[in-house]
Structure 1
Amino acid sequence: MDPKWEDDLQGEAERNLWAALRGRSLEYVEIGPNDPSAGASWGPDRAIRASFIKAIALGEATYSPSILRVRGARITGELDFEASRAVCPLDFDGCYFDEAINFEQFEASAIYLTRCNIPAGIKGSQLHTHHNFYLDGSSFSAEVCLKSARIDGQLGLEGAHLRQGSSLVAGAITVGQGAYFSGMRAEGRIHFGGAQITAKFDMRGAQLAGSASGEALYAPRIQVHGNLLLERNFTAEGTVDLTNATISGDLKCSGGHFKKGSIGETMERCLDLARVEVGQHIYLSDGFSATGTVYLADAVIGGTLNCEGGTFDNPADTAIYAPGIKVGRDVMLTKSTAAPALDQSGFMARGKVVLSGAQINAKLDFSGGRFLSSGEREESLLGRGMRVGSLIFDNNFLCQGLVDIRRTTIEGELRGISAVDPRKIKIAGMAYRSTGDTDDAEAQIAWLVQVTYSSQIYRQLASVYAAEGDEGAAKSVLIAGRESRRRSRKKPRRYKRYTELPLKWFVNYGYSPFRVLIWLGFFELIGGVIFIALSDDMTLAPLYKGSSVSAEGSSMSSWHPEFQPWIYTADLLLPVVDLQQNRFWIPTHAAEWLSAAFIIIGWTLATALVVGLGSVFRSDNRKDDWGPNR
């Protein structure tokens, strides 16, 4: 150290520090009580000039300390280390700094500024520490800038307080080990865009009040080679932006609270995970709450998306927006399996949940989930075109609005869908391999006929029963589908509700063709009895009057068959068969009208048989609508 320092020591604090330096005893130079909240009022006896500290840290002293430790001092003037290199680690505890600390392009072994009060903030662009950089418990009233800094050890701001008007700017920072912010309070923006964290990023219990721009944590393209923890009462009053982030471990937000706007207002994204890539799991569960939209569009998750017990509030708009999400394992929008039966703390979304185009390799589970909306005709759950391993509902599933899962492909089972109100669900084009339900075919059909009609939904269920070898159940489903189609006819084809009734009565829409024989037998019996009673009303055709009833030795014009009521009835009922009764005998009076009726009945039966069998044949050949079993 320049000899002038020894002759120019000012105050007790500097003399104590000089004495400790000479004696090589720097196990904390304690200047006074280390509560720096009132540091601005500390007198000269606790003051150390920043230039004096700098001279020691840069090795300009006669004696080079192994570490520079100061506790409870007031550092006056600007501590300017720009573009320099310290010869020892710096450790300040409970100190007050009158002016900003300049660490720009500064290189040090390690820096510890714990429980300090630094109102003017820190300038630390391109700072490089070979080990740790700790600001634990310190408070700031201006910007803390660590842009493009390189911390080879750990970065710590646990319990730090960024007062109103301050911010933490650490864009493109590189941290060789973990970054720890547990219990931090910030009333300004936290910026970690493009940061690279080699281990975990821990913000458990942090309180982020947000900034005027509406952002609480801005960290797009952050890379975390470990877990990112925003849990245990983590609170953000503004957007948490993790778009395009890469996280090799878990993203844990269980018990975290995310808020952007107030209920009743137009709310924006409170948690933005668009295009995020997570190697393991995402937890938005067990007390997680979001006021605003949780945005997961095109996110890629290697493990499970767990929302058990999470609350998502955005009643005027969308609560969860996750179109195109890709999940390697399960998506759980459920009540926790450990919760009591009457517990109402399970998954709840007030607002639309959008999963359209999602790809989920394992199960998508809605068991016990509650999907609430402002109106019964508004969509609460939109999942068109999803591809999932299995889809599960249960009796505790509640949805106030509509459920739209049209064109969804389920590689495995569809379980418990009958728990959904059939008047509120759209499933046209949905394909699955099994139902996994204990309900019999009658119960399944009773639910299905209340769903908005689509021929495919009946063919799909029938294909499942057929694949299981239950042809009877498959047939019952197809018949129910045709009946539902008939009943669903609307203008201008409403007349078909009635014209298709013969198909139902006579051949069961073509699925029971032999039923027409029963009807033929019935009408044959009725007709035979009627025409026996009305045999007096039957007259021989004029061409054959005077001819013999015996064909022996007679020409065709001199012979006619005897009237046979049973054969005559059959001749009327069989349009393409000539039994030589209807040609020779002409009905009169009441028999004339009844004969006409039996001819109509015969043609109706024949038409029903042909049309019914034709429609069944066409349905069997429409394989593209049958689903994965066909």
Structure 2
Amino acid sequence: MPVRLKRPFLRLSPAERRIWDAYPTGAWVDLRSGDDETDDPANGAGWGPERTVRAEVVAALLLGARQPEPGRSAGLRLAGAHITGVLDVSDATLTGKLHMINCYLPGGVSLVDTVAVGVRLRGCEIARIGAAGCTVNAMLDLDGSTVHSGIRLDNAHVKGQIRFAGLRLGIGEAARVPDGTPKDVRRKLSEEELRERGHRYGQWALWAGGLTVEGGAFMRDMRVSGGLRIIGAKFLGGIYLQRSVITATGPYAIQADFMEAGAAELSSGFQATGTIRMRNARVNGVLSFDGASLRAPGRVLHLSHAQLDELILRPASIEGEVNLAYSRIGVLLDAPADYPDGVYLNGLVYEALRGSAWSVADRLTWVDKDPYGYRPQPYEQLAAWFRKIGHEQDARRVLLAKQRRRRHTLRPAGRTWGRLLDLLVGYGYRPWLAGLWVAVLLAAGTGVFASVPPTQIDPEEVRVFQPFVYTLDLLAPVSVFEQRGAWDPVGWTRWLAWTLIASGWILATALIAGAARVLRPGPSS
């Protein structure tokens, strides 16, 4: 015979009576049948009244309808129940832990602005969870659960860990209108307003801007339809998404601008379809994409203006552009081939480059992949790193490549002068080329003037003609050996003499220009 109680609960079902009696001691109430298929909460709609519990009964217990027994820790520990209605304990301080296993909650859970000891909903089937502004003093555990219509955790504070391992998460229709919208307001929304709100909220499976998690956020093996919006979130113990699969329904798989984390593991089989945006993020440990599969139209990874102690960017596959512009990275572990669709590098500063074997040519190809075209800073940063590790020759090679790349951005006159500088002295980074040109011209002049000697201008002056010294004096911009004014070339050799004089001036100018370029103050020096 049902037990009669004072309002608001005039009667309790047998299942509710068991929960009511167990709460003061925190004892478990298990309503499961023992058959795995029957007990699957995905089949919870077919469970009978012997497993049905009203949400308001659960809420009343959590809000203090029954006091704990002396010396015992009160709490709701329930397995295999069908909770009817919305489990709404918003704006309250819960007196005991909430721990459910394999329960079916088609009405969802509301913990908005709630203070809870601990919340554990493991292996449950839940319509949606709204917990904006919630404070959880211990663990928030959704391991193995399915949440069909999204989770709201914006500005929540979890003092323990978040455990979402194996969570199945979708957006559904309920996520399209935010928590806290009164029913009368919902009815008044126009179709256009509903579409606009759907655009804002409907693409996010997890809406958690401003979330703070003091322990680790263990979110491995999740399957998410929709995006994770964690702008400004703080994961002091790190966030771990190994083997999770996120399929975006909007442009972003993850939007984590201004996120702070002790570490971030999007690795070991992690898959994302949609852009991962972490602009201005700060990771005090490792941000790893090792073994990840990333795909998005256009920009697949947006890490501009970020501060990272270490970035491991060795994905199993990647489709889309990568943006590392204006970021500061301690150690960058990658391979130049890991950016098939381009990489934004302007303003990027790194202390060390690591990864599998690659050549200077590979890194130059990497720098040239910037979709915006030539930018001097990536070359200067790469050269500075080569100099830092003592590879001066490689640094010069990078800076020479920079000048050659820059030449394509100049006007025709500038391109012509650039080609001449490159040919003669390698823009100053290959000064030995000038010596080679001098040797070739000196040999040619010496041979010609030995065969066709010039005539002496002053026959009365006693001189002995030396073709080598005469050629050398022609090549010098200013006559050093006083041979140029003493001998006059004859016939066609006049053209050779004029060519040698002009070449001397050009070589001297190129050497001066190249030296000024190499020795000027700045990152390239």
Tell me whether the two structures share a fold, i.e. TM-score over 0.5. Answer: yes
Q: Distance in 1 between matches of 2:54 and 2:95?
A: 28
Q: Distance in 1 between matches of 2:26 and 2:282?
A: 47
Question: Higher helix fraction: Structure 1 or Structure 2?
Answer: 2
Q: CA deviation at 1:506?
A: 2.8
Q: CA deviation at 1:350?
A: 0.6
- Counterpart among 262, 279, 282 of residue 356 in structure 1: 279
- Counterpart among 106, 121, 124 of residue 187 in structure 1: 106
**1:454 counterpart = 2:387:** no
Q: CA deviation at 1:457?
A: 2.1
**1:235 counterpart = 2:146:** yes
Q: Distance in 1 between matches of 2:421 and 2:126?
A: 69
SS of structure 2 residue aligned to 1:439: coil
Q: Distance in 1 between matches of 2:365 and 2:375?
A: 14
- Counterpart among 155, 162, 172 of residue 244 in structure 1: 155
Q: CA deviation at 1:443?
A: 5.1
SS of structure 2 residue aligned to 1:401: strand
**1:583 counterpart = 2:485:** yes
**Which residue type is aligned with residue 482 of structure 1?**
Q
SS of structure 2 residue aligned to 1:313: strand
SS of structure 1 residue aligned to 2:350: coil
Q: CA deviation at 1:195?
A: 1.2
Q: CA deviation at 1:128?
A: 4.1
Matches within 5 A, 1:119-130: 121-122=56-57, 124=60, 127-130=64-67
**Which residue type is aligned with residue 68 of structure 2?**
H
**1:285 counterpart = 2:257:** no
Q: CA deviation at 1:477?
A: 3.0
Which has the bigger relative contact order, CA under 8 A and spacing at least 6? 2
**Which residue type is aligned with residue 400 of structure 2?**
I
SS of structure 2 residue aligned to 1:501: helix
- 8 Å contact kept, 1:362–1:388: yes
- 8 Å contact kept, 1:110–1:129: no
Q: Which residue is equivalent to 1:548?
A: 460
Query: Kindly tell me: are residues 522 and 449 of structure 1, through their superposed partners in 2, closer, same or farther at Cα, counting changes over 3 Å?
Result: farther
Q: Which residue is equivalent to 2:207?
A: 272
Matches within 5 A, 1:94-493: 94=15, 115=50, 117=52, 121-122=56-57, 124=60, 127-131=64-68, 153-156=74-77, 158-163=79-84, 166-198=85-117, 200-209=118-127, 216-232=128-144, 234-261=145-172, 267-286=202-221, 288-314=222-248, 316-328=250-262, 330-335=263-268, 346-374=269-297, 378-394=298-314, 396-411=315-330, 413-421=331-339, 423-439=341-357, 441-442=359-360, 444-445=362-363, 447-448=365-366, 450-452=368-370, 453-486=374-407, 489-490=408-409, 493=411
- 8 Å contact kept, 1:422–1:447: no
Query: Kindly tell me: are residues 202 and 456 of structure 1, through their superposed partners in 2, closer, same or farther at Cα, counting changes over 3 Å?
Result: same
Query: Kindly tell me: are residues 285 and 595 of structure 1, through their superposed partners in 2, closer, same or farther at Cα, counting changes over 3 Å?
Result: same
SS of structure 2 residue aligned to 1:308: coil
Query: Kindly tell me: are residues 481 and 441 of structure 1, through their superposed partners in 2, closer, same or farther at Cα, counting changes over 3 Å?
Result: farther
**Which residue type is aligned with residue 509 of structure 1?**
Y
Structure 1 window deviating more from structure 2 (526-535 vs 296-305): it is: 526-535
Matches within 5 A, 1:554-573: 563-573=465-475
- 8 Å contact kept, 2:335–2:356: no
- What whole-Å deviation, never above 9, does each CA across 1:223-281 have from its counterpart, x for those lacking one? 1122211221x11121200011111121111211111159xx96421101211111111
- What whole-Å deviation, never above 9, does each CA across 1:602-626 have from its counterpart, x for those lacking one? 12211211111111122xx224x89
User: What value does the CA root-mean-square deviation take over the aligned residues?
Assistant: 3.2
Q: Distance in 2 between matches of 1:605 and 1:180?
A: 83
Q: Which structure: larger Rg?
A: 1
- What whole-Å deviation, never above 9, does each CA across 1:267-311 have from its counterpart, x for those lacking one? 42110121111111112222x011111011111111121111111
Matches within 5 A, 1:474-513: 474-486=395-407, 489-490=408-409, 493=411, 496-513=414-431
**Which residue type is aligned with residue 253 of structure 2?**
A
- 8 Å contact kept, 2:78–2:101: yes
Q: CA deviation at 1:118?
A: 5.8
- 8 Å contact kept, 2:90–2:110: yes
Matches within 5 A, 1:59-98: 79=8, 93-94=14-15
- 8 Å contact kept, 1:307–1:333: yes
- Counterpart among 604, 607, 610 of residue 512 in structure 2: 610
Q: Which residue is equivalent to 1:16?
A: none
Q: Distance in 2 between matches of 1:176 and 1:577?
A: 100
- 8 Å contact kept, 1:423–1:450: no
SS of structure 1 residue aligned to 2:369: coil
- 8 Å contact kept, 1:445–1:480: no
Q: Distance in 2 between matches of 1:120 and 1:156?
A: 14
Query: Kindly tell me: are residues 404 and 111 of structure 1, through their superposed partners in 2, closer, same or farther at Cα, counting changes over 3 Å?
Result: closer
Q: Distance in 2 between matches of 1:483 and 1:587?
A: 39
SS of structure 2 residue aligned to 1:400: strand
SS of structure 1 residue aligned to 2:123: coil
- 8 Å contact kept, 1:261–1:292: no
Off by >6 Å, runs of 4+ in structure 1:
110-114
SS of structure 2 residue aligned to 1:568: helix
Q: Give structure 2 stretches of 5+ with no counterpart.
A: 32-49, 174-197
Q: CA deviation at 1:495?
A: 5.1
**1:526 counterpart = 2:444:** yes
Q: CA deviation at 1:315?
A: 5.7
- In the superposition, the TM-score normalised over structure 2's length comes to 0.80
SS of structure 1 residue aligned to 2:512: helix
Q: Distance in 2 between matches of 1:539 and 1:530?
A: 14
- 8 Å contact kept, 1:528–1:566: yes
- 8 Å contact kept, 1:218–1:242: yes
Number of residues paired by the alignment? 468
Q: CA deviation at 1:379?
A: 0.3
**Which residue type is aligned with residue 599 of structure 1?**
I
**Which residue type is aligned with residue 167 of structure 2?**
G
% of aligned pairs identical?
A: 23
